[in-house]
Amino acid sequence: MRPMPNEMNPPKAKQREHKVTKHGDTRIDPYYWLRVKDDPEVLAYIKAENDYTNNVMNDTKALQEKMYNEIVSRIKESDESLPYLSNGYYYFFREESGKNYRIHFRRKNEAGAQEELFLDVNEIAGKAKYCSVDFNISPDNKIMCYLVDTHGSHYYTMYFKDLSTGELLPDILHNTGEMVWFNDSRTLLYNVNEGENISKEVKRHILGTTQSQDISFFQESGHDNYVFMQKSKSRKYIFIQSGNIGSNETYFADADDPGGELRLFTRRMNNLLYVTEHNGDMFYIHTNMDAKNWRVMVTPIDKSSIENWTEFIPGKDNVKIEGFEVFRNHIEVIEKDYGLTKIRIINLNDNKSHYVQFPEDVYNAWPVNNEEYDTEFIRYNYTSFITPMSQYDHDMNRGVSVLRKQKEVPGYSRDDYVTKRLFAPSHDGKLIPVSMVYKKGLLKGNKNILYLNAYGSYGMSSDVFFASSLLSLINRGFVYAIAHVRGGGELGEEWYEDGKMLNKKNTFKDFISCAEFLISEGFTFSGGIIAQGTSAGGTLVGAVANMRPELFKCIIANVPAVDTLNDMIDGGVHNAPYHFEENGNPDIEEQYYYMKSYIPYENITKQEYPNILIKTGFHDNNVKYWGPVKYAAKLRENWKGDNLLLLKTDMDTAHFGPSARYENYKESAYEYAFILKCFGIED
């Protein structure tokens, strides 16, 4: 790229030969050395890239400020959440103008009770550049356990606070993940974190003892299996799940007996996945056993092994059962029906059921804060491209929903916008859903800029959402769309399987087909598209940039997984075997060559690429910083033309970007300013 006046020349990373040989195939990775995190030359190169990016973006500072002010103007800066009931207390939080983090309160569920401030995340964060905090209250409501991560690395430190006195207990646990309480309120289980929110071991801690005294409660010996925990809604059992993407097994303990035995629910079997819950004298099991789109089984609590399971909700060919919540008299079932979430309520007394009714054709909904087991009401979030986040309470007996709170968006009117869902034919005839939103009055005719987003991995759906920040682009005539490509979970398990491992290229071809379809329909034009992807979605946008660069004006690659072949081989991803079921196993020759044929880093060629903004976090444990950094270095070596290639490494955060809300607004403004700069839009 030729530098503009007053702009620096782009940095150029040194090349050092590093050979990687697999299956008789030798690849040269000249930027392998960038993996050494504490190497001064690595840090110098990252700094040089950041300095160059700052220099190039310097002329957008006023535009960034304008976009930031627009975004903040549509935020109710001081707000209070809707309280939810949990174990005798109502919990809620406040956000205050100028403060980055939430302030948490509770109020006892009795007349005249006063609110109690029990956690101010702003105080915990202090001057830290990043701060993530979660909390868990003991069953007797007297002790708060809270977990703090100040780097975004998922390595938490666990603290304990006496809620009656406000004093911290001497117990401090390091390198932890999730935790659950036993019902005695002095014994707990916690995951020993290995990074990426991954654990192989569960330890037991008793309040008043040191961490060195904690015993190992469960340990996974398999190299590709990891551990997760949850407590039943009935609060009678603790479940420990050990497994990977393809199979798992569950153990359970009596929550009333901290010294009791840990029992196996049912043995691990190839391709068997299951999640358990408890209700009365039965366990409920969400499983893929003989049901590609999953089903729900039940079994007596004293006969948990698989041969005793009987069907409660059958699976369907065209509807995926994504999960459920059990209450004393009802079960709430979450279904995905051709890309749309449905909530089904079943009365356990008479087995009659109904669906929660939603007002729009393109929407997203999910249960939230349903902590109480003995209740006749559930709460769910509802949103769409044009409906701000809304919370409803649903009467499970009467089948009636009541709006309790909708997020206020100053200056916004939903009547000014149009949302719809179209279907784009892909290369093999599959119809790919595309959800979109734009300003009313938009004229077709191949003059509109399109912002196209997708993920397409791990069976995770890319659901629609309301984002007031996007109005800054939509109000300027942009069309925003989500391509629900294969590899995601929008259309069931088959949709996922048709976009992973040896079918992964379908994900990229679907995205390209969606872009071409929207061009043919007059919503945009070739070279007028922004492609955005995050993490595994970064694999997607990196691949399509190599395959069809002429379609896109900009690529926004947030913490992109663009070097996964090398990471899988050499341990760059320390839990690589966990991902084999998704990406493929490079130890298998066919899978190695298939991965090699699409991984973005491996397929960079000398050609004219779109404008590309690559963002990464130096402390990212999910997608290590060096993948995006190596990707930028190799792109620079092969770059042709005058488009922008920028690498922005945040030295204080990790995979999920800034934790502070105002910093997130600034990041959105930064990305939008980059997009407008690429299109030559100055206002």
Given a contact cutoff of 8 angstroms between Cβ atoms, the answer to whether 672 and 681 are in contact is no
Provide DSSP, 499-550: TSGGGTHHHHHHHHHHHHHHHHTTS--TT-EEEEEETHHHHHHHHHHHH-GG
- Say whether 415 is catalytic: no
Q: How far is CA 569 from CA 23, 137, 626, in A?
A: 12, 42, 15
Given a contact cutoff of 8 angstroms between Cβ atoms, the answer to whether 586 and 22 are in contact is yes
Q: How far is CA 294 from CA 269, 318, 356, 494, in A?
A: 16, 11, 21, 11
Give the pair of three-digit tokens for residue 660.
């502070």
Catalytic residue among 330, 620, 650, 668: 620
- Using only the alpha carbons of the chain, give its radius of gyration: 25
- For residues 559 and 539, give the distance between their C-alpha atoms in angstroms, rounded to a whole number: 10
- Say whether 620 is catalytic: yes
Provide DSSP, 192-225: EE-STT-EEEEEEEETTS-GGGPEEEEE---TT-
- For residues 448 and 681, give the distance between their C-alpha atoms in angstroms, rounded to a whole number: 13
**Owner of token pair 């160059």:** 52
**SS3 of 87, please?**
coil
Catalytic residue among 104, 151, 205, 655: 655
- For residues 438 and 440, give the distance between their C-alpha atoms in angstroms, rounded to a whole number: 6
- For residues 394 and 367, give the distance between their C-alpha atoms in angstroms, rounded to a whole number: 10
CB half-sphere exposure, 638, CA atoms < 13 A: 18
Catalytic residue among 535, 579, 619, 650: 535
**What's the first-to-final CA gap in the chain, in angstroms?**
25
Give the pair of three-digit tokens for residue 437.
């939103």
Given a contact cutoff of 8 angstroms between Cβ atoms, the answer to whether 20 and 586 are in contact is no
**Owner of token pair 């946008």:** 541
- For residues 286 and 230, give the distance between their C-alpha atoms in angstroms, rounded to a whole number: 14
Cα dihedral 84, 90, 96, 100, rounded to 10, equals -70
Q: How far is CA 611 from CA 49, 383, 509, 675, 682, in A?
A: 16, 32, 21, 9, 17
Element holding 46 (H helix, E strand): helix 40-56
- For residues 115 and 146, give the distance between their C-alpha atoms in angstroms, rounded to a whole number: 19
* Residue 292 DSSP class: T
For 103, list phi and psi in degrees, rounded to 5: -120, 120
CB atoms within 10 A of CB 306: 16
Given a contact cutoff of 8 angstroms between Cβ atoms, the answer to whether 202 and 190 are in contact is yes
- Say whether 655 is catalytic: yes
**What residues are annotated to the active site?**
535, 620, 655
